[in-house]
Amino acid sequence: MLILHGDRDAVVPLALGERLFAAAAEPKRLVRLQGVGRAEAPERGGLAAVLAFLAEVEATR
């Protein structure tokens, strides 16, 4: 599971993303995007984090 969360998300507080991460099973990763809200997450580090996570998961298969 990959959880991307901007620390400026006005809809879902970062604390809720952290709680979801704590409850999730492995493999998992939480990426906190500093200074990022919901709309700009993909172009401000989100897409790169998704691609890196998928590459790691694929490498373990």
pLDDT in tens, 18-52: 999 999 998 899 999 999 998 898 899 999 999 99
Which residue range is the domain that position 43 belongs to?
2-59
6 by DSSP, 3-state: which?
strand
Q: What is the pLDDT of residue 26?
A: 87
Full DSSP string of 12-60: S-HHHHHHHHHHSPSS-EEEEETT--STTTGGGTHHHHHHHHHHHHHHT
Does 9 score more than 90 pLDDT? Answer: yes
Q: What is the pLDDT of residue 42?
A: 87
* Tokens representing residue 57 in the block: 């998961």
pTM of the model: 0.82
Does 15 score more than 90 pLDDT? Answer: yes
Q: What is the pLDDT of residue 27?
A: 82
* The total number of structural domains that make up the chain: 1
